[in-house]
């Protein structure tokens, strides 16, 4: 018989049901085992209830199906054996209205097949028994949820203590009443907490940890086993970290898996920082920048020489820190900044950003640390371009041989500064955007988040200050050249 498909609620101890004085139930046969539990109550008067049972039931019957000559044959033995074969947990026999007493042959059959047999008094209805079962389940479910919630809170508090890994392990071991151990990528025990375990249990748990250690696409994330009466469980931490959480306990209560999973998530975050050293490296880089170091001096601490700056704008405003962090995680970088509903992410140049659902992105050209400010400007303009063209991602154009290469950068910048000197930065930015969008008033207004009349007024002001005709394509080309070199 396969394991019964039990409902997602805690089972009810048979002893708790027998303790209900309002029911008046009495066990008259079968083993007196306090570990016997039931998952539901089911009423049936079928002579063969096997096809209708899922397993774990308290089967209730008034004996309507019992023939008159049942006591002289094998009827009751066959009947009880079928209940046991179906996984039934117990049998409740009602004394009314068909039978005044429980048939003796039924009592003997239940003793033979070790099936608990309950006598249901005439004043107790089967619906009352079923209701009591569900009431006890609801109470157990409430207690389980409270236990899991308290465990989650205590584990989170442990993760903020000075020695967080051991603190989480201690709290987990206490909550499951057993032993918790953290194995490193090489299978070596890193830390442990809780009761002493036998050498056989420790060895079995280490073997179970190897089963879930990341080794390929088909590797399971968790596994359970039993050794010497001890329940064992192992959980892989994160993707590719190699750390494994092992838990050993003398019993496995409902909710233990949830509690251990929460601990696994916390330990995954903690060991992720330990494994890569990225958290400490980022802190070192930040401190050195604050103390006056140049960006190119601290960039090697972040693990890359060349970077992309990505500006992201959520399609659904506003953006919050959680969404910003999620974007950084999707792009593969923890270096995230949120300001005025635009998220800036510093991404290693070898990680090609891809469009992200719900975001509009602008990506700079690859840049060394000393060129981060220029790359930031490129990303901002690429984002404006993406908004104007309604594309999910726009990349700043890569350099290729052009006529501009005939001039030295110094001469080009000097020419640009002289030509654009009359323009204020807002006017220069408006002119640059307007030219990049081929003189479209509406698309420029969208890119700059201003009214189209404002764009017209600014462009007219630019024409007046520059003393030129912006409808002339030669003028536009010269201004575009100046704007491109003036941004360096």
pLDDT digits (tens, 9 = 90+) for 329-382: 778 787 888 877 789 999 988 888 888 888 899 999 999 888 888 899 899 888
Q: Could you tell me if 170 and 194 are in contact, meaning their C-beta atoms sit under 8 angstroms apart?
A: yes
Q: Up-side HSE of residue 322: CA atoms within 13 Å toward CB?
A: 0
Position 415 scores a pLDDT of: 82
Q: Mean pLDDT, the chain, as a whole number? A: 83
Percentage of the chain surpassing pLDDT 70?
88
2 pLDDT more than 50: no
The arithmetic mean of pLDDT across residues 175-184, rounded, is 85
Number of C-beta neighbours around residue 86 at 10 A: 20
How far is it, in rounded angstroms, from Cα 3 to Cα 219? 24
In this prediction the pTM is: 0.46
Please report which confidence band the pLDDT of residue 404 belongs to, taking 50, 70 and 90 as the band edges: low
Angle between helices 75-85 and 104-112 (to 10 degrees): 40
Position 409 scores a pLDDT of: 62
Q: Could you tell me if 241 and 272 are in contact, meaning their C-beta atoms sit under 8 angstroms apart?
A: yes
The arithmetic mean of pLDDT across residues 469-484, rounded, is 87
105 pLDDT more than 80: yes
pLDDT digits (tens, 9 = 90+) for 139-157: 888 888 888 888 888 888 8
Position 312 scores a pLDDT of: 92
223: phi then psi, degrees, rounded to nearest 5:
-155, 155
Position 398 scores a pLDDT of: 47
Please report which confidence band the pLDDT of residue 126 belongs to, taking 50, 70 and 90 as the band edges: very high
Position 290 scores a pLDDT of: 77
Fold match between 160-276 and 403-486? no
Give 265 or 282, the one with higher predicted confidence: 265
Position 322 scores a pLDDT of: 65
pLDDT digits (tens, 9 = 90+) for 340-349: 778 999 998 8
Position 488 scores a pLDDT of: 46
Residue 42, beta-bridge partner list:
59
Assign residue 187 a region: left if phi > 0, alpha if psi is -120 to 50, beta otherwise?
A: left
How far is it, in rounded angstroms, from Cα 419 to Cα 465? 11
Which token pair is 147?
């236990």
At the topology level of CATH, where does 12-137 sit? 3.40.1390
Per residue, the 3-state secondary structure of the chain, as one string, reads CCCCCCCCCCCEEHHHHHCCCCCCCEEEECCCCCCCEECEEEECCCCCCHHHCCCCEEEEECCCCCCCCHHHCCHHHHHHHHHHHCCCCEEEEECCCCCCCCCHHHHHHHHHCCCCEEEECCCCCHHHHHHHHHHHHHHHHHHHHHHHHHHHHHHHHHHCCCCHHHHHHHHHHHHHCCEEEEECCCCCEEEEEECCCCHHHHHHHHHHHHHHCCCCCCCCCEEEEEECCEEEEEEECCCCCCCEEEEEECCCCCCHHHHHHHHHHHHHHHHHHHHHCHHHHHHHHHHHHHCCCCHHHHHHHHCCCEEEEEEEEECCCCCCHHHHHHHHHHHCCCCEEEECCEEEEEEECCCCCCCCCCEEEEECCCEEHHHHHHHHHHHHHHHHHHHHHCCCEEECCCCCCCHHHHCCHHHHHHHHHHHHCCCCHHHHHHHHHHHHCCCCHHHHHHHHCCCHHHHHHHHHHHHHHHCCCCCCHHHHHHHHHHHHHHCC
Give 303 or 14, the one with higher predicted confidence: 14
Position 177 scores a pLDDT of: 85
State the CATH architecture for 403-486. Orthogonal Bundle (1.10)
pLDDT digits (tens, 9 = 90+) for 22-69: 999 999 999 988 888 998 899 999 999 999 888 899 999 999 999 887
Residue with tokens 């194995």: 183
Question: Domains of the chain: which residue ranges?
Answer: 12-137, 160-276, 304-395, 403-486
pLDDT digits (tens, 9 = 90+) for 215-233: 555 556 777 777 777 888 8
How far is it, in rounded angstroms, from Cα 256 to Cα 147? 10
> In CATH terms, is domain 160-276 a member of 1.10.3720.10?
no
Give 172 or 329, the one with higher predicted confidence: 172
Cis-peptide, bond into residue 97, ω within 30° of zero = yes
Which of 89-93, 147-151, 323-327, 378-382 is predicted most confidently?
89-93
CA dihedral 308, 313, 315, 318 (to 10 degrees): 140
- 286-292 own/partner pairs: CB under 8 Å, 24+ apart: none
Position 25 scores a pLDDT of: 94
Residue 313, beta-bridge partner list:
360
Number of C-beta neighbours around residue 421 at 10 A: 9
The arithmetic mean of pLDDT across residues 283-310, rounded, is 81
């Amino acid at each position: 018989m396969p394991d019964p498909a039990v409902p997602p609620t805690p089972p009810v101890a048979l002893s708790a049901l027998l303790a209900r004085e309002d029911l008046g139930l009495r066990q008259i046969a079968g083993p007196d085992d306090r570990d016997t539990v039931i998952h539901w109550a089911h009423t049936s008067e079928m002579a063969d209830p096997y096809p209708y049972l899922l397993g774990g039931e308290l089967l209730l019957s008034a004996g309507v199906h019992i023939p008159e000559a049942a006591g002289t044959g094998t009827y009751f033995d066959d009947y009880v054996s079928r209940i046991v074969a179906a996984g039934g947990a117990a049998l409740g026999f009602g004394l009314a209205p068909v039978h005044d007493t429980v048939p003796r042959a039924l009592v003997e059959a239940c003793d033979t097949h070790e099936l608990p047999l309950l006598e249901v008094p005439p004043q107790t209805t089967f619906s009352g028994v079923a209701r009591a079962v569900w009431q006890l389940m609801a109470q157990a479910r409430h207690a389980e949820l409270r236990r899991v919630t308290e465990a989650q809170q205590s584990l989170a508090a442990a993760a903020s203590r000075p020695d967080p890994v051991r603190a989480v392990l201690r709290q987990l071991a206490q909550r499951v009443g057993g032993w918790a151990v953290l194995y490193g990528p090489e299978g070596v025990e890193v830390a442990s907490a809780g009761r002493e375990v036998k050498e056989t249990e420790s060895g079995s748990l280490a073997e179970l940890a190897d089963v879930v250690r990341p080794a390929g696409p088909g590797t399971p994330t968790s596994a359970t086993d039993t050794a010497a009466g001890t329940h064992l469980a192992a959980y892989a931490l994160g993707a590719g970290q190699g750390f494994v959480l092992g838990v050993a306990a003398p019993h496995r209560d409902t909710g233990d898996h949830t509690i251990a999973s929460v601990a696994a998530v916390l330990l995954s975050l903690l060991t992720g920082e330990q494994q890569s050293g990225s958290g400490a490296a980022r802190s070192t880089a930040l401190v050195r920048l604050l103390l006056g170091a140049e960006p190119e001096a601290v960039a090697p601490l972040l693990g890359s020489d060349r970077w992309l700056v990505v500006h992201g704008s959520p399609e659904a405003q506003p953006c919050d820190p959680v969404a910003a962090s999620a974007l950084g995680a999707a792009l593969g970088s923890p270096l995230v900044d949120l300001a005025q509903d635009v998220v800036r992410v510093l991404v290693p140049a070898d990680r090609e950003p891809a469009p992200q659902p719900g975001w509009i992105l602008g990506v700079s050209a690859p840049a060394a640390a000393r060129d981060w400010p220029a790359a930031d400007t490129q990303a901002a303009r690429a984002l404006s371009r993406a908004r104007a063209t309604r594309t999910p991602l726009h990349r700043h154009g890569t350099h290729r041989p052009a006529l501009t290469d005939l001039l030295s950068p110094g001469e080009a910048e000097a020419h640009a500064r002289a030509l654009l000197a009359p323009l204020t930065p807002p006017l220069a930015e408006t002119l640059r955007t307007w030219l990049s969008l081929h003189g479209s008033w509406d698309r420029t207004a969208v890119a700059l988040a201003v009214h189209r009349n404002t764009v017209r007024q600014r462009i007219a002001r630019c024409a007046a200050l520059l003393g030129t005709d912006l409808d002339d394509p030669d003028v536009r080309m010269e201004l575009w050249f100046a704007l491109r070199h003036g941004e360096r």
